[in-house]
A = this chain, B = another copy of it.
Amino acid sequence: MLIVQKYGGSSLQDADRIRQIAARVLKTQRSGHEVVVVCSAMGDSSDELIDLAEEVSGNRPAREMDMLLTSGERVSNALMAMAVHDLGGSARSLSGAQAGIFTDAGHGAAGIVEVAPVRVREVLARGAVALVAGFQGLCRETGDITTLGRGGSDVTAVALAAALDADVCEIYTDVDGVFSADPRVVAGARLLKTVSSTDMLEMAATGAKVLMPRCVEYARRHGVEICVRSSFTDGPGTLVSRTPPPAGTGPRVTGVTHTGAMELVTVADPAAGPAAGTRFSVLLAEVSTLLAEARTPADMVQAVATPAGGEVAFTVPAADAPRTVGLLERHRDRLGHGPVRRLSGFGRVSVVGAGHPGAAGVAAALAGAGIGVRLTAATGLRVSALCAADRLHDAVRALHSACDLDTATEAVVHAGTGR
C-alpha cells in the first residue's frame, strides 16, 4: 500500500515526540508499505513566529509572512528525516516546492492548482520515506513561496494522496478520531468508526475541529479516503469514507456539533409590510448573494416575519460580524434595506446526518431541557439552532441524548491542539 500520513504540531512538539513519530513511520514502512509523511510545524513554533513578526512590524505583507511561516515546517521535516536515519531508516525531506505542490498567488490562503510529486516518487522508488513540508507550496508564475492557510498541512496530505493515488491518507492528531460530539462537552460521545464525507463536511463546517472543511472538500472532490487517528495511541481512528453508508441502514444522525461566539444579524426589509406575512421581497435573495460573493461565513440565512413586517436574519461568527455588517452598510443604496442590527451572546448547535429530527424536533428537545431557541435552519443534511451562548453545552448534551447517540463508555481525550 501507499500510505500518506500527516502529523500535526502537537504530535511534533519536542525532540522526544519527533523520535516517537519517526518510530511509528518506520514501523509502517517496515510492515511493507510505501510511506509519505507530511509534517506540520513543531508545537507552537508558528505562533511564536507570528508573535515575532508582530513585534517587528505593524505592516506585514502576506508574501513575507509566507516566507516566514514556511520555515517552521521545513524545520520539523528536516528533524524528522534525521530521527528516521537515527533509527536506521532512510528518509528525505522535501519542501512544498520540491514535492511539486503548485499554487495560485493567493498568499496566506493559496489554492492548489497542480500537484506534480515527481521527487516524492523518486524518494519512494529508492525505498526511503518521503517527508513533505506541509502547509506550503510554490506559485510558478511569481516564483514565490505560498502557504495554504489554516489546516493547510491537512490539505497538503490530501492533495499528495490524490496525486499519488494513495490507498489511504492518515491524518494524525491529538484525539482518537471523529466523535459524535465534542468529548470535552459530552462525556458519552462516541468515536465514529466511519463517517461519510458529506456528513464530515457538514460537521467540519459547523464546529468539529478535527478536520477543516477545505480539506474534507478536497478529499471528496478527488476521491481520497481520510483516516483520522491519534498519534498518541494505536487506535483505529475514524474513516472518512467516500462511499455512502450501505443501503438499508436508513437515514441516521451522525453527530452533534457546536460553535460558540456567534452573532445574529438582522436586516429590516422595508418592502415587507405588516400584512406581508411570508411574502418577502427580493431582499433575501440579494442579501444571500452578497454574503456568498464576499465569502462571509454567514449561516442560517432566512427571511423572518416580525410584528413590524419582516427581516432577513442570519448568523455569523462574532469575529466576522463587523466586516459583514460593514458590507451590508456599503450596499444599502443598491439593496434598499432598512436598519442592520447585531445581537451577540449566541451559540449554534447542529445535528448532522440525513436522519436529523428537523427544526421542530430540535426545538422540542431543547425546550424539554429548558433552553430557548432564537432561530433554526435545516437542510437535508443538518439542522441548526441558535441559543444563548451560556446554554450551548447543555444544548449539545440534550440533543446528543435525544438523538440516541450517548454511549456508556466515556471517551478518552488528550490535551493539545493541532494545525
Binds B, one of A30-38, A62-70, A228-236, A371-379: A62-70
Complex: chain B residue closest to A98, CB-CB: B143
Closest CB of chain B to A45's CB: distance in Å? 10
Complex: chain B residue closest to A55, CB-CB: B15
Q: Residues of B contacting A98 with CB < 8 Å?
A: 143-144
Q: How many copies of the shown chain assemble into the complex?
A: 2
Q: How far is the CA of A15 from the CA of B144 in the complex (A)?
A: 24
Q: Residues of B contacting A77 with CB < 8 Å?
A: 67
**Does A19 sit within 8 A of B, measured CB to CB?**
yes
Q: Are A15 and B52 in contact (CB under 8 A)?
A: yes
Q: Are A86 and B68 in contact (CB under 8 A)?
A: no
Interface residues on A, range: 35 or more
Q: Are A82 and B95 in contact (CB under 8 A)?
A: no
**Does A60 sit within 8 A of B, measured CB to CB?**
yes
Q: Residues of B contacting A52 with CB < 8 Å?
A: 15, 75, 79
Complex: chain B residue closest to A68, CB-CB: B78
Give A63-97 as 1s and 0s: 1 = Cβ < 8 Å from B's Cβ atoms.
11101101110110111011101100000110100
Q: Name A93's contact: one of B64, B74, B86 (CB within 8 Å).
A: B64
Q: How far is the CA of A58 from the CA of B88 in the complex (A)?
A: 11
**Does A119 sit within 8 A of B, measured CB to CB?**
yes
Q: How far is the CA of A297 from the CA of B302 in the complex (A)?
A: 79
Q: Residues of B contacting A74 with CB < 8 Å?
A: 67-68, 70-71
Q: How far is the CA of A57 from the CA of B85 in the complex (A)?
A: 8
Q: Name A56's contact: one of B70, B79, B92 (CB within 8 Å).
A: B79
Q: Residues of B contacting A61 with CB < 8 Å?
A: 81-82, 85
Q: Residues of B contacting A64 with CB < 8 Å?
A: 78-79, 81-82, 85, 92-93
**Does A340 sit within 8 A of B, measured CB to CB?**
no
Complex: chain B residue closest to A88, CB-CB: B59
Decide: A85 near B68, CB < 8 A? Known: A49-B75, A143-B98: no
Decide: A15 near B56, CB < 8 A? Known: A75-B49, A98-B143: yes
Q: List 15 A–B pairs whose Cβ atoms lie within 8 Å, in order of A's numbering.
A: A15-B52, A52-B75, A53-B82, A57-B79, A57-B82, A57-B86, A58-B86, A59-B86, A60-B82, A64-B81, A64-B93, A65-B78, A65-B82, A67-B77, A68-B74
9 tightest A-B contacts by CB? A57-B82, A71-B71, A68-B78, A57-B86, A15-B55, A67-B78, A64-B81, A59-B85, A59-B86
Give the B-binding residues of A (Cβ under 8 A): 15, 18-19, 49, 52-53, 55-61, 63-65, 67-68, 70-72, 74-75, 77-79, 81-83, 85-86, 92-93, 95, 98, 119, 143-145
